[in-house]
Amino acid sequence: MLEGLVQHDHPLTIQHVFDRMRRVFGDSEVVTLGDEGVQRASYAQVTDRVDRVCGALADLGIEPGDRVATFAWNSQHHLEVYLAAPCMGAVLHTLNIRLFEDQLVYVANHAKDRVVFVDASLVELLERVAPRLETVRHYVVMGDGDPGSLPGALRYEELIADAKPGFAYPELDDRQAAGLCYTSGTTGNPKGVLYSHRSNLLHALATCLGDAMGLCAADRVLPVVPMFHANAWGIPYAAGLVGSDLIMPSRFMQAEPIARLIEEERVTIAAAVPTIWMDLLRHLEDHQADLSSIRRIVCGGSAVPLALMKDWEERHGLSIIQAWGMTETSPLGSVAHPPKGPTARSAGPTAPARAGSCPWSRPGSSVPTATSWHGTELPKASSRSAVRGSPRSTSGTPRAQTASTMVGCARATSPLSTPTASSASPTGPRT
């Protein structure tokens, strides 16, 4: 092999996202909706606080490869831990607040979480399972509120205030683990998906492409899709990479606060599951809201009903774009922009093929069509579909050098058609 000499040794890590947030996009902002209105922080302020979070984690004894769990809504605090854990060499483990208690206990113990950052509004939920969490040594409460009976609970703001400014970030291998999500879209116990730095960074790059979500520095992005599930479709890292502002709804995901955020914060891209857009559509029947700033609505989690697409386009002039993916695909797998060509143009913006279809896989992933990647003939409508990409799924205990049981391949377990440019999938994303 003739080895290349240009940037061939540059590691593709989350530290690159963090560095761009600090050095290139310091004026971009994170807006979080709270009980008393919105709170704002520039990327420069956020990255300075991330330094302190890393220092605090080190003071708590967190070492490279240790799992740092979060149990939280979409917020500035959650974003800070999203960045701090992988950038210091630990592994971010987002605990899904909607799991059954036994499942929550299983994934926390299976992952061997060392510390849990919990939103104050979710303390009561975590209290119920805390006595059964075998490896957790510290609980950190983010926001105001009673820490309840959580053993030795620490206050987030006090913890980082006591930490020294600045942090000596280690040099990381882009193949080492950066994040851990457990998918409940499976049989038996949830399965762990261990993401590398390389996987998450390449996913962020692909997400920003025009035929994916198309994020850019001018955007103000509203991720209603939760950061505690499937990495919020990769939006936090993608936004940080290109400098998009992030508008965080926290626990306020009802139609009225979402409409208010879109209007007051001039949101340009919003991402949520179909039920959110259904509720907002009903809310707008009786309430006025200025949605003129929106240029793209991304919808996933299940198939988008064609009626919902038509209603949004006819009443508000906005097109919903169906996205498909799984926890095992980082998670964005494909995005169903209208296909090009005279047939698509004549069909108009509500072409039925868009409903539930995802014709193009994102760069970095591969979705087979008539023949699977290992050469087996697949029917056009199958109960299984295989995709290839950089994330790896593992059922073993996460370690710094975890071997993949599926060798870079994840299999979907929900029924779907094999996505092609002319074949629509009857179901949407399984994440």
Domain-terminating residue out of 179, 211, 235:
179
pLDDT number for residue 212: 92
Look at phi and psi of residue 196 and say left if phi exceeds 0, alpha if psi is from -120 to 50, else beta: beta
Q: Is the pLDDT of residue 383 over 80?
A: no
Domain check: are 237 and 359 in the same one?
yes
Domain check: are 166 and 68 in the same one?
yes
| 125 is a domain residue | yes
| 210 is a domain residue | yes
More confident: 188 or 238: 238
Displacement of CA 25 from its chain's centroid (Å): 20
Domain check: are 220 and 128 in the same one?
no
Domain check: are 248 and 290 in the same one?
yes
Domain check: are 220 and 356 in the same one?
yes
Residue that the structure tokens 């710094």 belong to = 400
Q: How many CB atoms lie within 10 A of CB 233?
A: 27
User: How far, in Å, CA of 397 to CA of 374, rounded?
Assistant: 28
Domain-terminating residue out of 179, 213, 247:
179
Looking at residue 250, what DSSP letter applies? B
Q: How confident is the model at residue 424 (pLDDT cuts 50, 70, 90)?
A: very low
Q: Is the pLDDT of residue 400 over 70?
A: no
DSSP 278-340: HHHHHHHHHS----TT--EEEE-SSPPPHHHHHHHHHHH---EEEEEE-GGGSSEEEEEPPPP
Looking at residue 366, what DSSP letter applies? B
Question: What backbone phi and psi angles, to 5 degrees, belong to 378?
Answer: -115, 140
| 185 is a domain residue | no
Report, in angstroms and rounded to the nearest whole number, the Rg of the chain calculated over CA atoms: 21
Q: How confident is the model at residue 334 (pLDDT cuts 50, 70, 90)?
A: confident
**Tally of domains in the chain:** 2
Domain check: are 107 and 236 in the same one?
no
User: What is the average per-residue pLDDT within 28-51?
Assistant: 97
Domain check: are 222 and 349 in the same one?
yes
| 233 is a domain residue | yes
Residue that the structure tokens 């009673």 belong to = 146
pLDDT number for residue 328: 85
| 60 is a domain residue | yes
Query: What CATH number has the domain bearing residue 411?
Result: 3.40.50.12780
Domain check: are 163 and 103 in the same one?
yes
Query: What CATH number has the domain bearing residue 141?
Result: 3.40.50.980
Domain check: are 270 and 222 in the same one?
yes
| 427 is a domain residue | no
User: What is the average per-residue pLDDT within 91-100?
Assistant: 96
Q: Which domain holds residue 21?
A: 14-27+41-179
Domain-terminating residue out of 179, 212, 243:
179
Domain check: are 202 and 151 in the same one?
no
Domain check: are 174 and 220 in the same one?
no
pLDDT number for residue 279: 98
Domain check: are 22 and 170 in the same one?
yes
